Amino acid sequence: MILENDSLELLGAALKTLDSGFANLPAVTQADQSSEVARNKNRMAAVMHEVATRMHGNYPYFHPQYAGQMLKPPHPIARAAYALATWINPNNHALDGGRASSQMEKEAVAQIAAMFGWRDHLGHLCGGGTMANLEALWVAGQMHPGKRVLASDQAHYTHSRISAVLGLKFAAVPSDANGRMDVSALAKMLEAGDVGCVVATAGTTGTGSVDPLPEILKLRERHGFRLHVDAAYGGYFTLAANLSPEARAAFDCIIQADSIVIDPHKHGLQPYGCGCVLFRDPAVGAIYKHDSPYTYFTSSEMHLGEISLECSRPGASAVALWATMRLLPLTRAGEFAGMLDDCREAALQLHQRLVQDARWLVPFAPELDIVVWAPRARSASEISALSQRIFEAAAKNDLHLALIRLPVRFFASSKQAFEADRETVLCLRSVLMKPEHRAWLDRLWEILSRSADEVLRR
């Protein structure tokens, strides 16, 4: 089999252990009555066959030759633990609905906070980076009512949309030629005195660029805004041993943020539906204050629903994350950190090969594990057309890349200039977020080269 399936055995064994905890209860399945699955076995098998066949319609996200968007399968332990938890199906909104899994969520979130150096914090899991950022900007808006939110023009588009949802004024700060927030432009915008929150991105979604947190923090001293760090994609790279000095300095400043967002469902080996928001000051919990007439009864301890905007939430997400971190703790130089080093090394090697090959234009070196590049041609429009064709040719050769539209100014320092007949240029993009990409790089390069030749020699 190409797909991992040993975790099914682990799941079967753990299910028996789970079952043994409830052995004192009378059996639900009567001896003379077959279970739901046994009664419907043939029809369920037919449906499952259909489901598996329908899933063939995906790109092979699990495979190293899928090197396009931010997609990869969860760790087998996360998959098994998530599935196991669904036999109970806890709801981490209230301790009444998710007693054990809420405790696991608190422990898992505390480990993530500790990864950034926070001993005290307030935080919880949520549906993803969008929801997590929404909560962070909501709190920022409550703390500085009427003031603006700023994020770079390379920040995730969710920030301007969330600001609109929350009724907050939003403005984009220009980025520099490396895709990072331009601090002098930020400084100018702050002069207006109406900024309540600056969103710094530690690893932009498009290019993995890391905003210059040390300089942004200096501006906070003068202007007193809240600093929110959107580390949805890049957060775990704080454990990596092979960051550039600039990126390292930025990650080392995250401890000074007021709030942080990180997505365990991106680099944290989790199935989708697992984001995390953290606040440095636990007192912001007061902003969430509400009374539930329904749910908060069985415990005087804090229910996660008291500090979360979402109500029902999958306890299974917390269980999967807890299990993954139990196996692969968030320690520097640990096994998990080594995976991030491998991803980054793969990106550095791909970048190196691209730079040494006359066929390609490369705007800047990767700061994380995302590489962007484009075929050389006379104009932005020609480059864009070629990128599209190489992307398609590679996919036919079973190498799945991604496309991204970048401002032409990102190429200002590339040695061979091209005619900027439009403001943006379509480029190739590869998110090398599977550690296996490092070992597969020769093969990925060979297919990319062959696909490019097919297009460029025609």
Ligand X SMILES: *Cc1c(COP(=O)(O)O)cnc(C)c1O
Residue numbers at the binding site for ligand X (CB under 6 A): 128-130, 133, 156, 158, 201, 205, 230, 232-233, 263, 275
Residue number of the CB closest to ligand X reads 129
Closer CB to ligand X, 368 or 401, in the complex? 368
Closer CB to ligand X, 158 or 451, in the complex? 158
Task: Give min distance, CB of 143 to ligand X, in A.
Answer: 21
Task: Give min distance, CB of 385 to ligand X, in A.
Answer: 28
Task: Give min distance, CB of 317 to ligand X, in A.
Answer: 12
Closer CB to ligand X, 170 or 418, in the complex? 170
Task: Give min distance, CB of 266 to ligand X, in A.
Answer: 6
Closer CB to ligand X, 136 or 383, in the complex? 136
**Residues composing the chain:** 458
3 state SS for the chain: CCCCCCHHHHHHHHHHHHHHCCCCCCCCCCCCCCCHHHHCHHHHHHHHHHHHHHHHHCCCCCCCCECCCCCCCCCHHHHHHHHHHCCCCCECCCCCCCHHHHHHHHHHHHHHHHHCCCCCCEEEEECCHHHHHHHHHHHHHHHCCCCEEEEECCCCCHHHHHHHHHCCEEEEECECCCCCECHHHHHHHHCCCCEEEEEEEECCCCCCCECCHHHHHHHHHHHCCEEEEECCCCHHHHHCCCCCHHHHHHHHCHHHCCEEEECCCCCCCCCCCCEEEEECCHHHHHHHCCCCCCCCCCCCCCCHHHHCCCCCCEHHHHHHHHHHHHHCCCCCCCHHHHHHHHHHHHHHHHHHHHHCCCCEECCCCCCCCEEEEEECCCEHHHHHHHHHHHHHHHHHCCCECEEEEEEHHHHCCCCCCCECCCCEEEEEEEECCCHHHCCCHHHHHHHHHHHHHHHHCC
Token couple for 106: 């608190």
Task: Give min distance, CB of 156 to ligand X, in A.
Answer: 3
Closer CB to ligand X, 152 or 384, in the complex? 152
Task: Give min distance, CB of 1 to ligand X, in A.
Answer: 30
Task: Give min distance, CB of 70 to ligand X, in A.
Answer: 7
Closer CB to ligand X, 313 or 376, in the complex? 313
Task: Give min distance, CB of 126 to ligand X, in A.
Answer: 9
Token couple for 38: 């046994």
Task: Give min distance, CB of 195 to ligand X, in A.
Answer: 20
Closer CB to ligand X, 97 or 203, in the complex? 203
Closer CB to ligand X, 264 or 375, in the complex? 264
Closer CB to ligand X, 84 or 134, in the complex? 134
